[in-house]
Amino acid sequence: MEPFENLQIVPARQGRLLGRDTDRLPAWPVRESRPVGVSDFWDIIRQKKLAILSAALLSGVAACLLTLPQTPVYQAQTTLEIQGINENFLHHGDVSPTSDLYSTEEGYVQTQVEELESRSLLRQVASKTNFISRLDARERPLFGHVQAPSEERTLKEVLKRLKVRSAPPTRIIRISFDSPDPKLSAEFANTLAEEYINDSLEARWTDGQNTITWLSRQLEDLKARLREAEDRLQDYTRSEGLTFLADNKGSVAQSRLQELEDEYSKAQAERIAHQSEYEVAQSGKLESLPRVLDSEGLADTQKNIVDLRGQLAEMSRALTPQHYKVQRLKAQIEALEGELAKGRADILSRIADETQQARLRENMLLKAYQQQKQVVADEAQKAVQYDLLKHEADTDRTLYDAMLQHVREAGIASAVRTSNVRIIDGAEPPSRPYKPDIIMNSALGTLSGLLIGVLFVCAGGTHDRRVRRPGESRRLSNTPELGVIPLSRGREFDVGDSVRSLVPSLVFTGAAAGQPRVIVVTSAGPHEGKTTIVHNLGNTLSEVARRVLLIDADLHRPRLDALFGVSNFWGLNNVLHDTYPIDDYPVEALGVPCANGLFVLPSGPRSENSADLLYSDRLTQLLARLRREFDIVLIDTPPLLEIPDARVLARQSDGVILVIRSGETSIEAVAECTHRLHEDGAVLLGTVLNAVSARSSAYTHYRKRKTAAG
């Protein structure tokens, strides 16, 4: 079975486009172009790469030429470490009125940076290094005139070339100096560091001497005040008759009062003890008193009485009370009891005497204590003024001793000439200049030119409203994109495999609604590749279709005869101009066979009324005859926007293929072509994007793999 045998042909006049009513299409079936993206800019850059590279090259050369006449500048660097100041050294911070106090270490280091850039220090270093003279010797003015040195110019030149930078959070400071003389660069940086250290030492020594001088004056004032305070204290003590113990333990009266108080307390306690003992004895409990219990005589007498009473009790059992032995024992017992009673009476008498003596002593001590208390009270009133004078003297003595100690410490601290600044790396004369760097400047110039070139071409590319990428024509025309034809490396159309992608689109797309048989191939403008696509598409269709006819309807610039190598003596112009019936023409007169199943009908010689012949009925008759003789008819027409021939032929065909050249056909041209075909009632089958850059084509990967496999 032939490829197109069972396909139905739907004429264009039926208003069907792949199963859709063209009458229902909008009056302007064009979609807005998509926003510009990165890929669009990349395409613009690739297309304008020569201009971009030229701008980069010119910029790099200009930067190089501007760098060559510049005077070489050498840079030397000295690195310092700012150590912390020990304010507690010999208590220097307690007496120095200019103690270095900073809220943060960073603030302290930044202060040192400012000191390194101070005008007085820079003038001193510039004078010591003979900076201006050596600079003028290196940098001669263009006309030989040397500017007279001045302090303002010296400072201006130094500050322009000097860089002092800290490196937080460290205590490192880097001093960099630029000069056309490498030795001057190193010498200035090192001299600045040395002078800064010397000035710092000198400032600290001067501060110490000022502190000593101030402290000495204060010490003399305190000494005089102390002498006056002690004299006032001694005079008052003598005039009031005050006597005080050594070691500041109070006055003699106070000491005596304390002694009387202690003695009175003891006497009172002793009296209370004797009074208690006496009351116990008076109550009849004399035997319970300690002195009675501890008396050996009373204890022996009491024991003898007990023994005799025991003997009397035994003897009374055997003898009568009148027996002499019983009477004798009773007499002994009575004698011992009398002796015991006498001993107890003596003890009671002694207790009473001791109690009385204790009471008398207590009263005497109380009286003495009260008298001494009055003496102390009188003396206390005088001691108030004494204490005030003594406190004043003690205060002055303390201040004098402290000030004397500070003077000695300040003298020792000022004698220790140490600096808290240490040179880590001294500057050395550089072997090569650090600027101008011709390589770096040339690279920066090249990069700047590259960026400027990219910006310019991208800015211009955003205003270039041309179709460039696959898929854009589909959005613009609201029709399928039938194929994409990339460019080969030789800038010729690589349409071999790409044209084959059009065949399924033409054969199978919308097969249910009928396959187009007569197809017009046109473009918006000239040189967009429609004739080449017709040529290659005809060759490809002849391989799958039985009979394919190519008609060169471009009566102004025919090319199919040259591409196929056939004569243009007879062609479409002859058929339309002739009066011979179309149906009576032999097939050979309607197409010259060029290959197996491929025929070509050239345009024929051009006549004055060639364009008018397209409006005749013979064109309709011819297309009807060709539908019967051939399976597919491809008609190559002039540009649609320049010559109306394509629109006339489109109304007579089954569909139109619009060829768009990437990077040349504008968006407005595609929109206008689509609009005109829609107004004419023609069926736009789709678009073909021609001459697409191989790198931006979506089919590049497949084509590369296929080429490699081949």
Q: What DSSP line would sit under 471-518, residue for residue?
A: THHHHHHTS-EEEEEEB-TTSSB--HHHHHTHHHHHHHTTGGG----E
pLDDT over 90 at 521, yes or no: yes
Is the pLDDT reported for residue 26 higher than 60?
no
Q: Are 173 and 166 in contact (CB under 8 A)?
A: yes
Give pTM, 2 decimals.
0.45
- On whether both 531 and 550 belong to a single domain, the answer is yes
Residue 204 lies in a domain: no
Strand partners, 41: none
In this prediction, residues 175-195 reach a mean pLDDT of 90
Of the segments 45-59, 493-507, 602-616, 639-653, which one has the largest average pLDDT value? 639-653
**DSSP summary character for residue 524:** S
Name the pairing type of β-strands 655-661 and 16-17: unpaired
Among the listed ranges 367-371, 534-538, 573-577, 579-583, which one has the minimum average pLDDT value?
367-371
**Same-domain check for residues 382 and 513:** no
Same domain for 454 and 483, yes or no, is no
Give me the number of domains the chain comprises: 3
Do 455 and 496 lie in a common domain?
Answer: no
Phi/psi-derived region of residue 163, left when phi > 0, alpha when psi is between -120 and 50, beta in every other case:
beta
In the prediction, which pLDDT does 284 show?
55
- The most confident of the ranges 46-50, 68-72, 513-517, 682-686 is 682-686
Are 449 and 506 contained in the same domain? no
DSSP-derived 3-state class of residue 595: strand
Tally Cβ neighbours within 10 Å of residue 65.
Answer: 12
Residue 10 has pLDDT above 50, yes or no: no
456 and 472 part of one domain: no
Which segment of 75-84, 178-187, 383-392 scores lowest on mean pLDDT? 383-392
Please answer whether residues 697 and 497 qualify as being in contact, where contact means their C-beta atoms are separated by less than 8 angstroms.
no
Res 553 pLDDT > 80: yes
Helix 324-415 to helix 252-282 angle, to the nearest 10 degrees? 160
Any domain includes 704? no
Report whether pLDDT(491) > 50. Answer: no
Residue 290 backbone phi and psi in degrees, to 5: -60, -40
**pLDDT at site 7:** 31
DSSP code, position 171: -
Please tell me whether residues 401 and 287 are part of one structural domain.
yes
**Is the pLDDT reported for residue 471 higher than 50?**
yes
Instruction: Give CA–CA dist 552/573, Å, rounded.
Output: 10
Do residues 600 and 693 share a domain?
Answer: yes
| Within a domain: 212 | no
CA-to-CA separations, 619 to 582, 624, 705, in angstroms, rounded: 9, 9, 46
Confidence of residue 633 (pLDDT cuts 50, 70, 90): very high
At residue 23 the predicted structure's pLDDT band, cuts being 50, 70 and 90, is very low
Tokens 């010490």 belong to 219
Mean pLDDT in residue range 423-445: 84
In a domain, 25, yes or no: no
Pick from 208, 199, 209: nearest CA to 99:
208
- CA atoms of 678 and 682, how far apart (whole Å): 6
The yes-or-no verdict on residue 226 having pLDDT over 70 is: yes
Q: Is the pLDDT of residue 9 over 90?
A: no
Q: What pLDDT score was predicted for residue 352?
A: 75
Helix (H, G, I), strand (E, B) or coil at 300: helix
How does strand 421-425 pair with strand 74-82? antiparallel
User: Are 643 and 524 contacting, i.e. CB atoms less than 8 angstroms apart?
Assistant: no
Mean pLDDT confidence for 467-474? 82
Give me the sign of the Cα torsion angle 86, 92, 97, 98. negative
Average pLDDT of the chain to the nearest whole number: 76
Residue tagged 């501890």 (tokens): 294
Q: In what order do the strands lie in the sheet with 655-661?
A: 481-486, 684-692, 655-661, 518-523, 632-636, 548-552, 598-601, 592-595
Please compute the mean of the pLDDT values over residues 63-81 and round it to a whole number. Answer: 85
What is the spatial distance between Cα 314 and Cα 308, in angstroms, rounded to a whole number? Answer: 10
Instruction: Give residue 676's pLDDT.
Output: 93
Q: Examine residue 265 and state whether it is found in any structural domain, yes or no.
A: yes
**Residue 271 is assigned to a structural domain of this protein:** yes
- Kindly indicate the confidence band of residue 677, based on its pLDDT and cuts at 50, 70 and 90: very high
Are 593 and 686 part of one and the same domain?
A: yes
Single-letter residue type at 297: G
436 upstream amide cis, omega within 30 of 0: yes
Q: Which residues have C-beta within 8 Å of that of residue 581, sequence separation ≥ 6?
A: none
DSSP state of 168: T
435 pLDDT band (50/70/90 cuts)? confident
pLDDT of 12 reads 34
704 pLDDT band, cuts 50/70/90, is very low
Q: Using the structure block, give the residue that is written with the tokens 């112009």.
A: 573
* CA separation for the pair 111, 125 (Å, rounded): 19
> What mean pLDDT do residues 595-618 have?
86
pLDDT for the residue numbered 706:
45
CA distance 453 to 661: 26
**Number of residues that this document lists for the chain:** 710
Q: Is 102 helix (H, G, I), strand (E, B) or coil?
A: coil
Mode of pairing for the β-strands spanning 592-595 and 518-523 = unpaired
Say what percent of the chain tops pLDDT 90. 18
**Residue position matching structure tokens 């491809």:** 634
Average pLDDT value for residue range 331-349: 70
Which long-range contacts does 340-347 make (Cβ < 8 Å, 24+ apart)?
A: 340/298, 340/301, 340/302, 340/305, 343/295, 343/297, 343/298, 343/301, 344/286, 344/292, 344/298, 347/281, 347/286, 347/289, 347/291, 347/292, 347/295
Which residues lie across from 689 on neighbouring strands?
484, 660
User: How does DSSP classify residue 464?
Assistant: -
- Most confident listed range (26-35, 472-481, 620-629): 620-629
The residues with which 661 forms a beta bridge, in sequence order, are 690
Q: Which domain holds residue 328?
A: 247-413
HSE-up (13 A, CA, CB side) for residue 297: 11
Q: Are residues 666 and 568 in the same domain?
A: yes
CA 243 to chain CA mean position, Å: 79
Q: Which of 130, 186, 178 is nearest to 154 (CA)?
A: 130
Report yes or no: 485 and 494 within 8 Å, Cβ to Cβ: yes
- Contact status, residue 485 vs residue 533, Cβ threshold 8 Å: yes
Give the C-alpha separation, 76 to 183, whole Å: 9
Rounded percentage of the chain residues whose pLDDT exceeds 70: 72
Residue 227 lies in a domain: no
CA neighbor of 193 nearest in space, from 124, 108, 101: 124
Residue 109 lies in a domain: no
Indicate the range of 353-367, 407-421, 694-708 predicted with least confidence.
694-708
Quick one: pLDDT band at residue 388, thresholds 50, 70, 90? confident
The CB density around residue 272, as the number of other CB atoms within 10 Å, is 14
Q: Tell which wins on pLDDT, 24 or 640.
A: 640
pLDDT of residue 603: 92
Residues 441 and 341 in one domain: no
For residue 505, pLDDT beyond 90: no
Spatial contact of 468 and 43, defined as CB atoms under 8 Å apart: yes
Residues 559 and 651 in one domain: yes
- Model pLDDT, residue 32: 45
Alpha-carbon distances of 338 from 262, 301, 304, 344, 707, rounded to whole Å:
44, 10, 13, 10, 159
Residue 298 pLDDT > 50, yes or no? yes
339-345, long-range: CB < 8 A, 24+ apart: 339/301, 340/298, 340/301, 340/302, 340/305, 343/295, 343/297, 343/298, 343/301, 344/286, 344/292, 344/298
Question: By the 8 A CB rule, do 47 and 662 touch?
Answer: no
Instruction: Decide which of 141 and 600 is more confident.
Output: 600
- pLDDT of 14 reads 33
Per-residue confidence (pLDDT) for residue 450, from 0 to 100: 85
Token reading at 202? 């000198």
Reply yes or no on whether the pLDDT at 272 is more than 70. yes
CA dist 574 and 604 (Å) reads 6
Burial class (CB in 10 A: 0-12, 13-18, 19+), 331: exposed
Query: Which residue type is seen at 465?
Result: R
Q: Taking the mean position of all CA atoms in its chain, how far away is CA 395? A: 59
Q: Region 14-27: what's the mean pLDDT?
A: 36
Q: Of 137 and 687, which is predicted with more confidence? A: 687
Specify the pLDDT at position 240: 67
Q: pLDDT tens across 136-177, in order? A: 776 654 334 455 557 788 888 888 889 999 888 888 999 999
| Token pair for 440 | 């770096």
Q: Please say if the pLDDT value at position 660 is more than 90.
A: yes
Give the residue from 461, 478, 496 where a domain finishes: 461
**Closest C-alpha among 534, 531, 568 to residue 548:** 534
627 — pLDDT class (breaks 50, 70, 90):
very high
